[in-house]
Every structure is written in structure tokens, then in C-alpha cells.
Chain A
């Protein structure tokens, strides 16, 4: 199963006949010391762009720590230095080499579009660079040195330009980096403000509830009943028998609603009208779900904002509000849930577990149905 990897057999320096036939990494064994990766899981392969012959890091240290030395591959006469070695970025060393060459070319031919009179000139330039790169990467015997010479000549002639472009590039890089950091910070800031928004809201809600309770306490007989009922629900948080009952009833009530909507989902999925007209609502029943509420139902607490300029200009929608209020009211359970929902700071691991199990249960049932 282990392929024999004769040292040197596959390796050819980039200068030789076909630059494409470069050594391939033997994933499993170092061709120099024959250590098998299987026996040493952390074994790392390194290459040196002088010749792209790969070997394990142990070999590199052993052979090159004391100074420059010859490549251990048979027939390869390159002198290699320790600091030239790096781990290969690509599995395929042919690609690795091409990338290196391209990077070198790009550093020299670093003109930007703005440097050209017309788009056509720029495209011609890109074409020229691409041809030259091709010759360097996989050009025939004669072409490669010519391309190399061309590259060096251009580098010498355009030193100042290249340097200027490099600086500009670095500045742009730096700018982009700064912009990115700023974007990240802004995103973080938005999250923080959203948190603060929530905290303020909770505080205020607690305050207004207290105020409400005060008013109710001073209210005439009839309304005091409401206060009492609230008290009861609060106690239901404890472990009394009636609490269990309430809970179970609530759960069953909710389960009914839930089951209905699961069925509904199913049915829709069953009838995916293959070539009917496109339904922008995606199959959901198009029931106008907004309760149209007449003026009569106005609540003074709400009314006082209806003509508030800040609400109007900001686009605040009172229709949405009344629709939601009606929805919650008709749903019947709104008040009590509102009380119970705000259990406090964040959530405990227990609460998470409870939700997790709940979601899982719904998921299971959806599959069952």
C-alpha cells in the first residue's frame, strides 16, 4: 500500500525541461528519511522555493541547521538555506510554485487601472503580464529565461513606479484594514445599544407596573378584583397544586393551537401546485390578519402619542400597535404571560434546557405527524 518514493525520481528543478513535472507530496512518507506519517502524526512537510523538493521538518533541521547545504534529492544540485524553507500552502506543489511565481510577477507588474489611458490599454497590459507569467510557469526551455530577463528588465526600468504603486497599495491595505476594524466596532456598538434598549425597557415596564398597581389599589371595589387575580397568578409560580393545574391547562391550550398549525403546514406542503401561477405569499393563507380597529377603542395612554410628532415622523405605526394589542387581548392569555415572561436576568442553564427540550419535542412531533 505504501508507494515507493524513489528520491529524485520525480523531482525536477523548475529550470528543467518541463516545469510542470514537479515533485508531488507523498502524503504518507518523507522521501528523505522514510519516516511514515502514520508513525508520527505531527510530521510536517516543508519545501524550499529554490527547488520545491519536499521533506519533513526533522530532515530540514538535521541538514540545514548548521548552514547552507545541498538538497538531498538525487540529481538536485541546489544549495538550500534553512530560512528558505516553509510549509507548503497547497497540496499540489505545482500550484505552490505557480503561486510563488505569480506573486513575484505581481509585485513587479503592479500597475493599477488608473495608470492607463484607456481600459483597452489596461487590458492589453494585463494580457502581456499573463503571457509572461505563463512563460515563467510552464514555458518551454527557451521561453523561460527570456521571460525571466523581461521581468528583470521591467523591474529595473520601472523601479520608481513600482515603489510608488507598492506604497499606494500598502496605504490602501492599511485603509481597508482600518475601515474593517471600524465596521466591526460599529457592529459591536449596535449590539450593545440594543442591549441597553432592552434594559431600559424592562426598568420602565417595572416602574409602570408598580404605578398601575398603585392606581388599582386605590380604585373602587369592582376593579380591585383584578388586582387579586394578578396576585394569584403570581403565586402560581410556586409549587402549589393549583399552579400545576394552571400550567397543564395552559400547555394543553397551547398544544391545541400548535397542533392546528402543524397540520396546516403539512397540507400546504402536500399541494405544491407544480405549474400554477406564482404565489408571492408562498402558499400561506392570505387572510388579512390586521384587526381594523375603530376610533372607539382608543386608550388614553396610547392616544397621547398619536399626534406626537416624533412618532409620526419616525414612521411609528399605530395600526400595527392596535393590531398587536388586539391579537394579544383576543388570545386571552396575554396579561398573565406578560407577567411571567420577565423572570429576570438573562436565563439560567435550566431554562435553556427546558427550551431545548421543548424545541426538540416540537421537532419530533413534526416528523411524527
Chain B
């Protein structure tokens, strides 16, 4: 069989639901409001079959010419990301995500790119990164043009303990934006499957945006197996660690809970070095999954837990460590970290929780703390790191240690 990533062809024809519905791409295609000639720009792929190849190429060129690529912003697993700007108006900045060529997929485009493309194109929400355009470059590389989010990501804020201070109102604002993003994905039947602080990018006005849809997929039909190997380990829920193949949005909710915990303690809450360690950490810090608290769990394929069963921790245990967000905040946190995915709170229910309406009120996005700016930024984060220490935050005394400049690691 040939390589055939299924990711269904993105279809603009999928109808929208009023209210929460994303706006659909081809909506504007032929229906022009201001009298521009129809058919100037075909939009559905249905039309594509009728177009000459020349026209297609011309359109691609047109999209490509709209942007000028600049310096490299970052590198991910399957893409390099560059800064870019609009040729017409250089003040308009964009991020151009150029998908790395994958030998295995010479014929088609890299499937994770298609995945990202498909989902981003359908999800329009202020807390989800928006896709502005897409074009292929001469080497058949796919380029996604995304809105440029210049203020880094949540991970940078969490880790910069020395220079970034924030409080309960800020955490509530960030969590609100994250939860809305996830709720919107789920409401549109999309699982993100890679929620973590560094996939939460920050726009110039402080708005947090969920990015990196390279592992996303639509909700599966009953009986259809999904892969259990998704979500970065520290944020992976117990059902996936135990090898469940039929899961739901609850997997993302667990990740959201761990981002919440991390925002509070400013260190990853469950930083397992391996899958086994991850499960052990969950058992120790949250409680051991058993038939009592999660019927059927022992039948999951990869179910193994440390022999010393730990009872699920109650609210008091959490208050000590996470009390900064108040009793209601802790209540919400606990509900996201329920072992049994069937009992775990949903994204929608999260938004209905009392915490949002209790004091303090979430900080307005424009007033949220930002990453410290300046050229020393990269250096700064390197300096804070002791050689070989990935996360000195795991050190309980870490935060209290006087700043130690360490130039051994720089350069």
C-alpha cells in the first residue's frame, strides 16, 4: 500500500454550527459582498479539479509572494519556524512554519503538517493560534503562515522565577484562556493531544494561544482505536500511560490540570523520567488507580502500579501546596486530576466552575506579567541553569538560593 495518511482532506464545506461555530474557509470563496467578480479566487477543493494547473500554481505564487521570510524563530520536531512580514505592509508580522521534508513522504505532504493545517483551518478562536495562509515552496515544502506571537510561551514565564513574578489573578487569567481554547477544540470535536506550557504562546496583547496542532485529531468513532502514545510524558494522563485506545477529551483536561499545577508551584508537578516513573509519580502524588476508584482499570493493557497503594489525596493535602489559588481554585485543580477519565471534569464544566467568579478577578490580558525583554534574555536563562541541571526548580530550596551567576554554561 502506498503511504496514505488519512487525515481527511480539509473541507470547507463542513457546515458550521451557529454560536460556537468556526468560520469556514471557503465561505468567502465565490460570494463576494462588494461586487468583486466571482471566481476570481476558487476556494473549495471541488473546484480545483476544474482548474488548470497553471492557475493553481499562479495562486500558490500569489500567496507565497505576499510574505517575506526573515530570521529563524525556533525549531520544533517537524518544523522550523521563521519570522516573516507582509510584503505589502512590512509592519504586519507573521510566523512562517516551514515543515521539514520527510523522506518517507516525498509524494504527499508531511501528514502532521496536514493534520495541523486541517485543524487550524477549522478552529477560529481568540485563544487558538490562527492560520493566515499556506503555500508550498519550490522544494514542495509546506509553509504554514501563522499569526506571530512575540511574547514567548507560558513555559518561559513559569521558569523565569527570578524576573517574572505573578499571582493568583494572573494564573486565573491564563487558565481561563487555556481552558477556553481546549473547550473550543472539544466543542468542535478535536482532541489536541499535546497540551503543555511551551505550546501555549503569548500574543502582543497578552492573549494566550494554544498552538502546535501536530498531534491533534478528530474525535474517533466507537470501536476505532487511537494511539496511546500521545501527549508529552509529564502531561500524559493515566489512561494513556496504561495503554487505553478509546479515550476522550478527558486526556486534554488532565494536561490542563498539570499546567494549572505548574503555574502555581512554578515547577513541573509530575516530571517523570520514564513512563514507569511517571505512573509512580501519579500514584504517589495523586493516588493509586484501583478498581475501587476506577472500575476496570486493572484490565487496561499496560496497567502496573507500585505495590504500596496510596489512597487518593484529599483537599487538605492539596491546600498546602496549591493554596495560592484559594479553596475554589484547588477544588477545580483536584477535579481536573481525577484518575478515572469518566469522572474527570470536562472543559465545559471547568468553565462553569465557581472559581472564575470568586475573588480575585482574573487580570486583564494587557496587564499580565510578560517575559523580561532584552538581548540578555537567552543568556539569562542559560545563566540560571547549573550545568547539567535541566530543572533546578525541582529543588525545594531552589527558589530561595541566591542568584548564582554561572558562566561555565554560557556560550
Q: A and B from one assembly?
A: yes
The A/B interface has a contact count, at CB < 8 Å, of 435
What 1/0 flags go to A274-314 for Cβ under 8 Å of B? Answer: 00011011101101010000000000011011101111111
What 1/0 flags go to B11-43 for Cβ under 8 Å of A? Answer: 111111111111111111111011000000111
Q: Is A102 an interface residue (CB 8 A)?
A: yes
CB distance from A346 to the nearest CB of B (A): 1
Stretch at the interface among A61-69, A138-146, A347-355: A347-355
Assuming A258-B16, A280-B351, A357-B63, is B295 touching A201 (CB within 8 A)? no
9 closest pairs, A vs B, by CB?
A346-B108, A258-B27, A315-B341, A172-B388, A202-B6, A314-B244, A353-B60, A313-B296, A102-B407
Stretch at the interface among A22-30, A31-39, A181-189: A181-189
Partner of B224, one of A190, A201, A318, A337: A201
Q: Is A159 an interface residue (CB 8 A)?
A: no
Contact (Cβ within 8 A) A106 B28 = no
Bound together, the chains give a CA A318 to CA B408 distance in angstroms of: 56
Which of A112, A198, A337 has the largest number of chain B CB atoms within 10 A? A198
What 1/0 flags go to B64-96 for Cβ under 8 Å of A? Answer: 001000000000011000000000000000000
Residue of B nearest to A118 (CB): B397
Residue of A nearest to B27 (CB): A258
Q: Is B265 an interface residue (CB 8 A)?
A: no
Partner of B50, one of A112, A119, A187, A244: A244
Contact (Cβ within 8 A) B15 A331 = yes
CB distance from B43 to the nearest CB of A (A): 4
Assuming A282-B127, A340-B46, is B19 touching A113 (CB within 8 A)? no
Which of B5, B124, B126, B177 has the largest number of chain A CB atoms within 10 A? B5
Contact (Cβ within 8 A) A313 B16 = no
CB distance from A182 to the nearest CB of B (A): 9
What 1/0 flags go to A311-346 for Cβ under 8 Å of B? Answer: 111111110110010010001110001101111111
Partner of A113, one of B109, B214, B401: B401
Given contacts A106-B407, A250-B44, A364-B28, 11 further A-B contacts (CB under 8 A): A119-B397, A180-B390, A188-B77, A197-B227, A244-B50, A247-B46, A265-B124, A313-B295, A333-B13, A345-B2, A362-B25
Residue of A nearest to B76 (CB): A187
Q: For the complex, would chain A's binding face be called helix, strand, loop or mixed by DSSP majority?
A: helix
Contact (Cβ within 8 A) B246 A280 = no
Contact (Cβ within 8 A) B134 A352 = yes
- Residues of chain B within 8 A (CB-CB) of A350 are 48, 51, 53, 56-57, 60
Q: List 25 A-B contacts (CB under 8 A).
A: A102-B405, A103-B410, A113-B401, A119-B400, A126-B401, A190-B231, A197-B225, A201-B6, A201-B220, A253-B13, A254-B15, A255-B29, A260-B18, A289-B187, A313-B297, A313-B300, A314-B239, A314-B300, A315-B340, A317-B249, A333-B15, A342-B6, A345-B108, A346-B114, A361-B26
Residue of A nearest to B388 (CB): A172
Q: Is B294 an interface residue (CB 8 A)?
A: yes
Contact (Cβ within 8 A) A176 B390 = yes
Stretch at the interface among B135-143, B156-164, B306-314: B135-143
- Residues of chain B within 8 A (CB-CB) of A302 are 222
Q: Is B245 an interface residue (CB 8 A)?
A: yes
Bound together, the chains give a CA A362 to CA B183 distance in angstroms of: 24
Bound together, the chains give a CA A195 to CA B110 distance in angstroms of: 9
Assuming A239-B50, A320-B189, A352-B142, is B388 touching A344 (CB within 8 A)? no
- Residues of chain A within 8 A (CB-CB) of B22 are 261
Contact (Cβ within 8 A) A190 B251 = no
Q: Is B381 an interface residue (CB 8 A)?
A: no
Contact (Cβ within 8 A) B248 A317 = yes
- Residues of chain B within 8 A (CB-CB) of A160 are none
Bound together, the chains give a CA A320 to CA B388 distance in angstroms of: 45
Q: Is A203 an interface residue (CB 8 A)?
A: yes
Contact (Cβ within 8 A) A265 B23 = yes
Q: Is A359 an interface residue (CB 8 A)?
A: yes
- Residues of chain A within 8 A (CB-CB) of B315 are none
Assuming A342-B8, A357-B59, is B14 touching A337 (CB within 8 A)? yes
Assuming A199-B6, A250-B44, A289-B19, is B30 touching A258 (CB within 8 A)? no
Stretch at the interface among B280-288, B321-329, B355-363: B355-363
Bound together, the chains give a CA A277 to CA B362 distance in angstroms of: 10
Contact (Cβ within 8 A) B12 A254 = yes
Bound together, the chains give a CA A311 to CA B223 distance in angstroms of: 8
Which of chain B's residues 197-238 have a Cβ closer than 8 Å to chain A? 214-215, 217, 219-227, 229-233
Bound together, the chains give a CA A362 to CA B29 distance in angstroms of: 8
Residue of B nearest to A205 (CB): B6
Contact (Cβ within 8 A) A357 B108 = no
Q: Is B386 an interface residue (CB 8 A)?
A: yes
CB distance from B301 to the nearest CB of A (A): 9
Contact (Cβ within 8 A) A358 B6 = no
Contact (Cβ within 8 A) B43 A251 = yes
Bound together, the chains give a CA A173 to CA B382 distance in angstroms of: 13
Q: Is A220 an interface residue (CB 8 A)?
A: no
Partner of B20, one of A239, A287, A305, A355: A287
Contact (Cβ within 8 A) A127 B402 = yes
Partner of B387, one of A172, A277, A347: A172
Contact (Cβ within 8 A) B46 A257 = no
The chain A residues found within 8 Å of chain B, CB to CB, are: 89, 99, 102-103, 105-107, 110, 112-113, 119, 122-123, 126-127, 130, 133, 169-176, 179-180, 184, 186-191, 193-205, 236-239, 243-244, 246-248, 250-262, 264-265, 277-278, 280-282, 284-285, 287, 289, 301-302, 304-306, 308-318, 320-321, 324, 327, 331-333, 337-338, 340-365, 368-369
- Residues of chain A within 8 A (CB-CB) of B112 are 191, 194-195
- Residues of chain A within 8 A (CB-CB) of B244 are 310, 313-315
- Residues of chain B within 8 A (CB-CB) of A314 are 239, 244-248, 300, 341
Assuming A247-B44, A321-B222, is B400 touching A172 (CB within 8 A)? no
- Residues of chain B within 8 A (CB-CB) of A331 are 14-15, 17
CB distance from A66 to the nearest CB of B (A): 30
Contact (Cβ within 8 A) A355 B25 = yes
Bound together, the chains give a CA A200 to CA B18 distance in angstroms of: 33
Bound together, the chains give a CA A254 to CA B24 distance in angstroms of: 7
Assuming A173-B387, A309-B296, A344-B4, is B63 touching A353 (CB within 8 A)? yes
Which of chain B's residues 139-190 have a Cβ closer than 8 Å to chain A? 140, 142, 176-177, 179-180, 183-184, 186-187, 189
Q: Is B258 an interface residue (CB 8 A)?
A: no
Which of B121, B223, B296 has the largest number of chain A CB atoms within 10 A? B223
Bound together, the chains give a CA A244 to CA B395 distance in angstroms of: 66
- Residues of chain A within 8 A (CB-CB) of B63 are 353, 356-357, 360
Bound together, the chains give a CA A180 to CA B388 distance in angstroms of: 11
Residue of A nearest to B22 (CB): A261
